[in-house]
A and B are shown apart, each in its own frame.
Chain A
């Protein structure tokens, strides 16, 4: 009970506050912009054809209502929250009148599928290989592995992705150039295999860079850890190596690693913009790219809201899970 009151509850309040402030800022910032989206839309519609002025006036009214721009800022703010709670994020300007939630909902599963698998694979392999390479730092294989990673790590993501596309999709034609799947969606092996087939290259491009990053991080954490008194002492007492690596080294490097994993997963809702654009993958990043291109505020806002909620929730989860990973955080 005490734990709930002094540890869990404050963190949940903090989480709610972060989301509230973030969402309020998301509401406010576009309204400070000198561009009026209603004018923009009317301008786009009347650019190539003259329209009856009365029609323009009524169109302006309905568009203002639709975009939630009626009344004072405070009234708008109140309605904004009311709509948000019913899951209404407004309509897309670019794909008028398709609702934003619909568009985001269509992109979301692709992104979640692609990114969560890429993040998990790179986290597990990076942490695992980095810890081993850090512990056995004087072995030949560890040094070769590290040199390889140090060469790969600074290569810009764009170049890795382009090389993969060029070699495997365009030249060898092993993988498709564009798209996310083929055939009738469903829980059949045929469909799932095309998902894996289409997702392989984008995922690989993401995994390479982030595995290298996590490898370097895990290795340097391990290097610090093996110099610590308790690891040295356990070595001196001839505690088996397997035990030392698992319970003395890896366990102590876990805290920053778990934070990194949770934040990466929280940032998932931003989508992988460059990846999805390069591989023409139908995820959230691709949606965001098109929205920015078309000044589609509602979609940009919708995605921003999602990623605020995602990051805030991830940090909340880290806070709640910390005591499991580090007893020093535990309440005494």
Chain B
């Protein structure tokens, strides 16, 4: 299995200029990713760490003030290698839904309130395939049945469905054309846990049926544990750790990842969980050196001035931390 999408030193900033004051928010800063065909890649991190921004760039759905200032996004789709920067608008449009699709954040509101579900499906299908209304209704009915959704949603309006059902319909809408690469942005947020389970199961089904690649973004480590094969931890616009799900959960190395994992509630212990001290940094003036040093209990002088590089500390386990690096190089233990 090869790489399906990669980014090389990707930098994307929000550049705004109001009343002569220029403000740059470095939402994605120097991120290099390789996402393999057929895997579920989870991106985790707290609010405001650049998760959604990264997704917009990967999806090619961004407009000013968000600007790609450096690096590149490369798709390996249908046997072709394409650099996102070289693609025409026409190619980008053509690629959407047939090969790349998107399950949005807050999909409660992505269905047109005055259109029946089946008509929305027809709009989306007929935009990419030459089908009659009847054919797309048939396609939709078959697909919804496959996914175990009741047939009566076809003729419903969005407001007649429950939140969980709307979310499932949106997932069906996003995947109806069997895209190779699916991006999901917080697909289970704002749903209660019982419904979450159903939605997670459905995502799994959809992904496994065609062996699609799923890039899953959520702050909920529990969802990642359920779905993801590999996890990338994002902090303040930077990738700080990346490995397979088991390693991240059992042997996190970056202090930030450790905090994230340790703050998870557990069934066995009833003690209070530690919160990460401090607040996420503002990305218009990120801290110097390691962006986590202000909140990090292990921070040393070097962390305040020099940015740590992402290094492979064991096979397929990457982390960007001076302390871990030093430890690895046989320095004093922490």
A residues touching B (Cβ–Cβ < 8 Å)? 228-230, 232-234, 236-240, 243, 247-248, 251-252, 325-328, 332
Tell me the complex Cα distance, A232–B105, Å.
Answer: 12
B106's nearest neighbour on chain A, judged by CB, is A229
Once A230-B111, A236-B96, A326-B114 are accepted as A-B contacts, the answer to whether A247 and B157 lie under 8 Å apart by CB is: no
- How far apart sit A234 and B122, CA to CA, in the bound complex (Å)? 12
| A-B contacts besides A229-B109, A238-B96, A251-B115, 12 pairs, CB < 8 Å | A229-B104, A229-B107, A230-B110, A230-B113, A233-B110, A234-B112, A237-B124, A239-B124, A240-B127, A247-B112, A252-B114, A327-B159
Q: A229-B106, A327-B157 are in contact. Are A237 and B97 (CB under 8 A)?
A: yes
Confirm or deny: B128 has a beta carbon within 8 angstroms of a beta carbon on chain A.
yes
Contact of B151 with A by CB under 8 A: no
Point out the residues of chain A lying under 8 angstroms from B106, CB to CB.
229
What are the residues of chain B within 8 A of A326 when measuring CB–CB? 114
Contact with A along B72-100 (1 / 0, CB 8 A): 00000000000000000000011011000
**A328 engages B157 (CB within 8 Å):** yes
Complex CA–CA separation, A229 to B157 (angstroms):
16
With A247-B115, A247-B123, A328-B157 as given contacts, are A238 and B110 in contact (CB-CB < 8 Å)?
A: no
Contacts of B111 in A (CB 8 A): 230
Closest chain-B Cβ to A96's Cβ sits at a distance in Å of 56
Which chain B residues lie closer than 8 Å to A251 at the CB level? 112, 114-115
Which B residues have a C-beta under 8 Å from some C-beta of A? 59, 61, 93-94, 96-97, 102, 104, 106-107, 109-115, 119, 123-124, 127-128, 157, 159-160
Complex: chain A residue closest to B56, CB-CB: A236
Please indicate the chain A residues that have their CB under 8 angstroms from the CB of B97 in the complex. Answer: 237-238
Return chain B residues, CB-CB under 8 Å to A237: 96-97, 124, 127
In angstroms, Cα B108 to Cα A283, docked, is: 52
| A332: contacting residue among B107, B113, B124, B160, CB under 8 A | B160
- Contact residues in A for B109 (Cβ distance below 8 Å): 228-230
Instruction: Tell me the total A-B contact number using a CB cutoff of 8 A.
Output: 61
- Smallest beta-carbon distance A232→chain B, Å: 8
A-B contact pairs, 5 of them (CB 8 A): A229-B110, A237-B127, A243-B127, A327-B157, A328-B114
Task: Indicate if the CB atoms of A243 and B123 lie closer than 8 Å.
Answer: yes
In the bound complex, what is the Cα–Cα distance between A238 and B106 (angstroms)? 20
Given contacts A229-B106, A229-B109, contact A238 B128 (CB under 8 A): yes
B113 close to A238 (CB less than 8 A)? no
Q: Are A239 and B127 in contact (CB under 8 A)?
A: yes
Q: Which of A230, A240, A332 contacts B112 (CB 8 A)?
A: A230
With A252-B113, A327-B157, A332-B160: A236-B123 Cβ-Cβ less than 8 Å:
no
A248 in complex: contacting residue of B94, B112, B159, CB < 8 Å: B112
Q: A238-B96, A238-B97, A247-B123 in contact; A328/B113 too (CB < 8 A)?
A: yes
Task: Return the 4 tightest CB-CB contacts between A and B, nearest first.
Answer: A229-B109, A238-B93, A233-B110, A327-B157
Q: Which chain A residue shows the least CB distance to B157?
A: A327
B92's closest neighbor in chain A, by CB?
A238
- Using CB atoms, name the residue of chain A closest to B93: A238
The 8 Å CB contact of A233, one of B104, B113, B119, is: B104
Closest to B156 in A: A327
Contacts of A240 in B (CB 8 A): 127
Most buried by B among A233, A234, A332: A233
B110: A residues at CB distance < 8 A: 229-230, 232-233
A252 & B160 in contact (Cβ 8 Å cutoff): no
Q: In the bound complex, how far is the Cα of B106 from the Cα of A131, in angstroms?
A: 26
Tell me, rounded to whole Å, the shortest Cβ–Cβ distance linking B269 to chain A: 40
A240 vs B97: C-alpha distance when bound (angstroms): 13
Contact A328 B159 (CB under 8 A): yes
Cβ-closest chain A residue relative to B127: A239
What is the chain B residue whose CB lies nearest that of A231? B112
Indicate if the CB atoms of A236 and B61 lie closer than 8 Å: yes
Q: How far is the CA of A139 from the CA of B127 in the complex (A)?
A: 24
Residue of B nearest to A248 (CB): B112
Q: Give every chain B residue within 8 A of A233 (Cβ-Cβ).
A: 104, 110
When C-beta atoms are compared, the residue in chain B nearest to A228 turns out to be B109
- A328 CB to closest chain B CB (Å) equals 5
CA distance A332 to B104 in the complex (A): 28
User: How far is it, in angstroms, between the C-alpha of A74 and the C-alpha of B159 when the chains are bound?
Assistant: 52
The CA of A243 and the CA of B119, in the complex, are separated in Å by 11
Least Cβ–Cβ distance between B199 and chain A, in angstroms = 18
CB distance from B127 to the nearest CB of A (A): 5
Q: Which residue of B lies closest to A255 (CB)?
A: B114
Determine the distance from Cα of A232 to Cα of B62 in the docked complex, in whole angstroms. Answer: 11
Name the residue of chain A whose CB is nearest to the CB of B96. Answer: A238
Q: Are A239 and B104 in contact, CB atoms less than 8 angstroms apart? A: no
Q: Which residues of A contact B119 (CB under 8 A)?
A: 247
List residues of chain B with CB within 8 A of the CB of A228: 109
* B115 nearest CB neighbor, chain A only: A247
Query: Which residues of the partner chain A approach B61 to less than 8 Å between Cβ atoms?
Result: 236
Q: How far is the CA of A240 from the CA of B112 in the complex (A)?
A: 15
Closest B residue by C-beta to A238: B93
Assess the B102–A236 pair: CB atoms within 8 A: yes
Query: B97 — nearest CB in chain A belongs to which residue?
Result: A237
Q: Which residue of A lies closest to B95 (CB)?
A: A238
Residue of B nearest to A254 (CB): B114
Instruction: Report the bound CA distance from A187 to B61 in whole Å.
Output: 60
A153→B192 CA distance, assembly (Å): 50
B residues in contact with A248, CB < 8 Å? 112, 115
Asked if B114 contacts A327 (CB within 8 A), the reply is yes
Docked CA distance A228–B110 (Å): 8
In contact, B127 and A238 (Cβ under 8 angstroms): yes
Tell me which residues across on chain A come within 8 A of B93, comparing CB atoms. Answer: 238
Complex-state Cα separation, A238 to B97, whole angstroms = 8
Chain A nearest CB: distance from B124 CB in Å?
5
